[in-house]
Amino acid sequence: MKRFCIIGAGACGLAVAKTFAERGIPFDCFEAEGDVGGIWNPDSPHVVYGSTHLNSSKKLSRYPDFKFPDEMPYYVSAAQAEEYLRAYAAEYGIYDRITFNSRVTSAERTDRGWRIAIEGEAEPRIYDGLVVANGHHWQAKMPDYAGTFDGEMLHSHDVKSRAQLKDKRVLVVGAGNSAVDILSDAALDGKAAVHSMRRSYYFFPKMLFGKPTDAVIDRLSHLPLPRRFMYGLYKLGMRILVGAHRHYGLEAPDHNLFEAHPTACTTYLDHIVHGRIVAKPGIERFEGKRVYFVDDTFEDVDMVIWATGYSISFPFMDDSYILDEKGRSKLFIHTFDREHDDFFVCGLFEPAEGGVWQIADYQARLIAAFIVACETDQKRADWFRKLRAHANPDIGHGIKWQDTPWHKFEIQHLRFRRYMARLLKKFGPCAGEEQEMRTMGESAEDADEKLKLAS
């Protein structure tokens, strides 16, 4: 069987390595750091903020065949996430299959296969196929505003500990989960916490009816109800549980619920109503340590933290393998090259609710099923080749996402995994034993009763 190169041993690369090992697909996995985990590895320069907790509950975050320990909370911490990933790698014997401290510097398709250059190696290696799993939450994106700021300026990527916020007047710019995590610590440990948003978002509580919110939404999504009715139900729930933004001194969002990625938080609105966080609109300019906002108000701060997201980056290869001229994925379900059998990406998506790791496991199994089909079942391989060439299935639940960089890769968790479960079922024996994906209580049959394959 052909040999594949896997770039990255974060949560997504681990799923691919484990699945390939199980299916007997030869591979080499290269990880730039000294341990698994990617952004959850505390020794990585790209490690997440120390107070970070998963935005998705452990039920919708975990790999389907590897549970979190029962004693861990619904929303695990960064340290617990890394503990889980290391335990996963150890349980399935993946550590011995990874080459650590090996950074891929270039990847290029040639007539002989994929030419992969490794830092420190004199000669490139040649592989029959490539799986990219380098993640997309590590290349900081920094905005530019008029004026000069005389205080400390950081991206949220560079904030590793709440100690950096202590006794400082902190301005956080952005409205994602990293922003509200940092603001919560600044509200308690800093002299002041100021929040700037150019546009407002919906802020979801992390718990509903004593259950994680994403698990409740996931369960409701199983009901055979019209989408419009479901969205109306969610809007009503937000009105009852949270209320109008104006009651918190916040601008109303300029979009409908679920047209932009919601922010999961429990403490942010509590800090707002207790005056521990001051909400402001977008920035106009800087003058010394004074920040002027577009509503003609200003605040004096010591530190500005840009929680403004990340750029999609593949520093070892030409972006055109993956992205079109507008920076959107040109891959089939963000995973498969539409023309070639030798190139795959795992983890290039943003779930509106639920976790990344679980979806990455489905991707890994689907990639492996196709590779096996190419070797053993040309009929199924040809069926999939025709499908991937032109199909554009609805994996976003029919939602027209906002046209922002944040939403270019947005998917709906249940719908995406249902679609992949259906594909795995059609691969039959090529997907391996028990791959009908009776996962989390879903059979392949009931997992996708309504979603039809586009062909």
Kind of pairing between the strands at 113-118 and 350-351: unpaired
Q: Which residue has the higher pLDDT, 138 or 45?
A: 45
Q: State the chain's mean pLDDT as an integer.
A: 90
116-172: pLDDT as tens digits? 999 999 999 999 999 999 988 778 888 999 999 999 999 999 999 999 999 999 999
Residue type present at position 290: R
From 210-214, 270-274, 279-283, 313-317, the region with the lowest mean pLDDT: 210-214
What residues does CATH 3.50.50.60 cover in the chain? 4-139+311-447, 146-205+242-306
Q: What is the pLDDT of residue 233?
A: 84
Mean pLDDT of 331-360: 94
Say if CB 60 and CB 74 are below 8 A apart: no
Query: Averaging pLDDT over each range in 226-240, 279-293, 350-364, 408-422, which range is the top one?
Result: 279-293
Angle between helices 227-241 and 213-221 (to 10 degrees): 150
CB atoms within 10 A of CB 126: 13
Kind of pairing between the strands at 283-288 and 290-293: antiparallel
Q: What is the pLDDT of residue 442?
A: 45
Query: Considering only the top CATH level, what class is 146-205+242-306?
Result: alpha beta
Mean pLDDT of 1-20: 96
Q: Burial code of 152-175, b = ≥16 C-beta within 10 A, e = fewer? A: eebbbbebeebebbeebbbbbbbb
Mean pLDDT of 97-114: 97
pLDDT > 50? residue 436: no
Q: What are phi and psi of 304, to 5 degrees?
A: -115, 125
Residue type present at position 247: H
The order of strands in the sheet holding 343-345 is 98-99, 27-30, 4-7, 129-132, 343-345
Nearest to 88 by CA among 31, 24, 11: 11
From 297-301, 347-351, 371-375, the region with the lowest mean pLDDT: 347-351
Mean pLDDT of 101-117: 97
| Percentages of the chain per state (helix, strand, coil), in multiples of 5 | 35, 20, 45
Query: Averaging pLDDT over each range in 202-211, 255-264, 399-408, which range is the top one?
Result: 202-211
Query: Tokens at residue 168, please?
Result: 């400082």
Mean pLDDT of 363-377: 97
Q: Which residue has the higher pLDDT, 82 or 441?
A: 82
Mean pLDDT of 341-354: 91
CA distances from 188 to 192, 271, 279, 393 (A): 9, 9, 16, 45
Query: Considering only the top CATH level, what class is 4-139+311-447?
Result: alpha beta
pLDDT > 90? residue 410: no
The C-alpha atoms of residue 38 and residue 30 are separated, in whole angstroms, by: 12
Mean pLDDT of 85-113: 97
Partners of residue 106 on adjacent β-strands:
117
pLDDT > 70? residue 434: no
In percent, the amount of the chain with pLDDT more than 70 equals: 93
Q: Which residue has the higher pLDDT, 441 or 246?
A: 246
pLDDT > 80? residue 432: yes
Q: What is the pLDDT of residue 34?
A: 97
pLDDT > 50? residue 439: no
The C-alpha atoms of residue 337 and residue 187 are separated, in whole angstroms, by: 46
